[in-house]
Chain A
Amino acid sequence: MYLAKVYVTYKESILDPKGEAVHDALHRLGYTNVDSVELGKYFEIKLIAGKQPVEAEVDEMCDRLLANVNMESYRYEITEMEA
């Protein structure tokens, strides 16, 4: 069994109004030292190795569903879980 941790965030050219709203709220709480907030998505996917290598499969999942590559980028870490 493998554990894939997938992080999806907006590309730099994309506005992130939700991140900005959180940024403003942190400032209102007094954390004026906060420079920026990026609000993204985090997935934990547990899977067993299929026909193709786990990494290739997770990559494909990101391209096809987890991220919209028009406006988002993704990265992931894959670890083998102890049985």
Chain B
Amino acid sequence: MKFAVPVFPGSNCDHDMVNALRDILKADADLVPATTTDLTAYDAVILPGGFSYGDYLRSGAIARFAPVMTAVQAFAATGKPVMGICNGFQILTEAGLLPGALQANRSAQFICETSDLIVRNVETQFTSDYAAEAHLQLPIAHGEGNYYCDEATLAELRANHQIVFEYVDNPNGSVANIAGIINRQGNVLGMMPHPERAVEAILGSTDGLGIFKSLLARHEEATHA
């Protein structure tokens, strides 16, 4: 399975992501520049965390118009998996690939801590490796992670089981304790916590592995079916 990890000016979790995929998951992974216009050679795209384009204007607002995002839109439209972590999630909402928006944390503070999460939907290609309602310990590190959507969107997210991760103790003011959501088609996931920083015991948690294992298992199934 071949992963593409787009690198925007200001991305800073790109190498962590690629290390997790290559060294721990033994998958193929390439860092691809934000100027990339073709992702057809890849099986999955992961938009990494960081502060793309300095978070100028709004988090993700400038990255959303980088050339690689046109390729990501086309890639997502084919049904292949796309995932955005932290700033990657912000970019996906700005791009309209996921509903809602990420606004400033309620406390107005940057939060860097381990968060306790519940997996609310294990019927996705990103979470099938987890037990239903599993609790995960994943790091969060963000100033704008406060998920917002209007009532109608929230009702839709709930009706279609699109809320994938919830915080146990809401750290940032997110609507309905939302930490991660998936699109209706089930191939685009965005989450504020960092699973790529929780893949080895020495990092304090291996709870992030399940996401990448789920993707690898789904790909294995699809290619050997």
Q: Complex Cα distance A25/B100, Å? A: 31
Q: Complex Cα distance A66/B58, Å? A: 9
Contacts of B58 in A (CB 8 A): 68
| Interchain CB contact under 8 A, A15 and B104 | yes
| Interchain CB contact under 8 A, B108 and A14 | no
| Interchain CB contact under 8 A, A66 and B57 | yes
Within 8 A of A (CB), among B15-68: 57-58, 61, 65
Q: Complex Cα distance A18/B109, Å? A: 10
| Interchain CB contact under 8 A, B65 and A15 | no
| Interchain CB contact under 8 A, A15 and B57 | no
Contacts of A70 in B (CB 8 A): 93, 100-101, 148-150
Q: Complex Cα distance A13/B153, Å? A: 15
Number of A-B contacts (CB under 8 A): 37
Contacts of B103 in A (CB 8 A): 10, 14-15, 71
Q: How many residues of A contact B (CB 8 A)?
A: 15
Contacts of A18 in B (CB 8 A): 104, 108
Q: Mark B105-123, 1 if CB is under 8 A from A, else 0.
A: 1111000000000000000
Given contacts A70-B100, A71-B148, contact A65 B106 (CB under 8 A): no
Q: Complex Cα distance A77/B210, Å? A: 51
Q: Say yes or no for A21: interface residue by CB 8 A criterion.
A: yes
Q: Say yes or no for B94: interface residue by CB 8 A criterion.
A: yes
| Interchain CB contact under 8 A, A71 and B104 | no
Q: Say yes or no for B146: interface residue by CB 8 A criterion.
A: yes
Residues of B within 8 A of A (CB): 57-58, 61, 65, 93-94, 100-101, 103-108, 146, 148-150, 173
Q: What are 27 A-to-B residue pairs whose CB atoms are below 8 Å?
A: A10-B103, A15-B103, A15-B173, A16-B104, A17-B104, A17-B105, A17-B106, A17-B107, A17-B108, A18-B104, A18-B108, A21-B108, A41-B57, A65-B57, A65-B61, A65-B65, A66-B57, A68-B58, A68-B94, A68-B101, A70-B93, A70-B100, A70-B148, A70-B149, A70-B150, A71-B101, A71-B148
6 cross-chain pairs, A with B, having the tightest CB-CB distances, nearest first: A17-B108, A70-B101, A71-B101, A17-B104, A21-B108, A68-B101
Residues of A within 8 A of B (CB): 10, 13-18, 20-21, 41, 65-66, 68, 70-71
Known: A14-B103, A41-B57. 10 other contacts (CB 8 A): A15-B103, A15-B106, A16-B104, A17-B104, A20-B108, A65-B61, A68-B58, A70-B149, A71-B101, A71-B148
